[in-house]
Structure 1
Amino acid sequence: MRKVTLEELFNHPIVQKYVGRSGVAHAISVAENAFEIAAETGVNPDLATKAGLLHDIGHYTWYENGEWNYQMYQENDIHAIKGAARAHKLLVRCGEDLQHAKAIALAVLLHTDSYLPEGQLQLSPLQRVVAKADEADEEPGGKHHYRQIDYPTALDRIQKLDAKINHFMVTVELEQTC
């Protein structure tokens, strides 16, 4: 069934370090949104929530004088590229199914078009879910990266989400849609 849980990922030092930079509260909210959207659209919620949790793992700290510099971020950021590579390496090291690790990494890569040239991409269902889940939690000026959450509350939400995924995957025949 599931080779790697959200809790395992969440507690990994790489996730704590890099997701902490971009906002744990935001990452968990995106994972929760991804579960709901995936469940409604027939996309694998395990893959969607992992991609949601890891979607900003490539963020560089675009801070200036202790404040998030949204303008500098918009002009220079390629966090999705770095994040896809970092997420893939992490998932493989944690023992994730290799095809799932690739699908999750590609969803991280394509969760935003902020670094892409103009044009239309054909996103997979999983990639669309993660992009929509992220958009649903965004706040003007990047404020969603500032929301705070304490570790016990964050861990509780992750554990509840893992339980929802397990229940869903047991009770619903799931097409492995990436």
Structure 2
Amino acid sequence: MRKVTLMDVYTHPVAQKYLNRSGKAHAIACAYHAFKLAVQAGINPDLAVKAALLHDIGHYEWYTAGGEWDYETYRRNDIHAIKGAERAHKLLIRLGEEPKAAKDIALAILLHTDSYLPEGDLHKDTLQQIVKKADEMDEEPGGHHHYRQIDESLAMKKITELDQKVQQALQPMKRSV
């Protein structure tokens, strides 16, 4: 039994604040990609969809003096995965998520991008690889994926649908005799 649903996470005011900043349409698309990848890999889809939904909640808005989005400054200086991992962990613990699950989700968020890491290979577990891949599957040049819009009623419908898919995937298979 899941203690915290995706809807619990999505509707929390902290999540809403940062999902609005980083792009709800992108976050929801990534959660769907993560669900499919998690099921294919045989890992817990609940952790994958939560990590993918929250993967960009650490974004800071980088603008030029003229008010234009400065994508290059963002790419050179952003550490959103660090802040996002911290925010997600705190949010999940407040919501009552199991501490180990909250930590695994936060680590997947921390490692979903290597833009701030030093050169070299870092071993990533399957959940961490899935969140990175889900993000890459929805990327658009110049960071435009963060600016796609989604109607709130459609977003709620998609979150509800994804919660149902996760619940079904977590149910043990019933044998017919």
Quickly name the TM-score band, shorter chain normalised: over 0.9
SS state at 1:63 partner:
coil
Q: Which runs of 5+ in 1 are unaligned?
A: 174-178
Aligned to 2:15: 15
The 3-state SS of whatever aligns with 2:85 is: helix
Distance 2:10 2:67 in 1: 26
Displacement of 1:72: 1.1
1:53-91 deviations in Å (ceiling 9; x for gaps)? 000010001234454321111011000000000000000
AA aligned opposite 1:23: G
How many residues are paired up?
173
Q: CA RMSD in A?
A: 1.2
Please name the residue that 1:128 is paired with. 129
CA deviation digits over 1:9-31, x for unaligned, max 9?
11000011011101000000000
Distance in 2 (alpha carbons) for counterparts of 1:120 and 1:147: 32
Q: Which has the larger radius of gyration?
A: 2
**Partner deviation per Cα, 1:73-113 (whole Å, 9 max, x = no partner):** 10110000000000000000000000000000000000000
Q: Which runs of 5+ in 2 are unaligned?
A: none
Q: Which residue of 1 aligns with 2:91?
A: 90
Counterpart-to-counterpart distance in 2, 1:88 and 1:172: 31
In the alignment, the residues of structure 1 paired with residue 125 and residue 28 of structure 2 have an alpha-carbon distance, to the nearest angstrom, of 22
Q: Structure 2-normalised TM-score?
A: 0.95
Q: Name the % identity.
A: 61
1:85–1:17 CA distance, 2 compared to 1 (3 A): same
Structure 2 Cα separation of the partners of residues 159 and 93 of structure 1: 21
CA distance in 2, matches of 1:172, 1:56: 34
Question: Counterpart of 1:59?
Answer: 59
Letter in 2 for 1:77: D
Instruction: Give the equivalent residue in structure 2 for 1:156.
Output: 157
- Look up the equivalent residue of 1:167 and give its one-letter code: Q
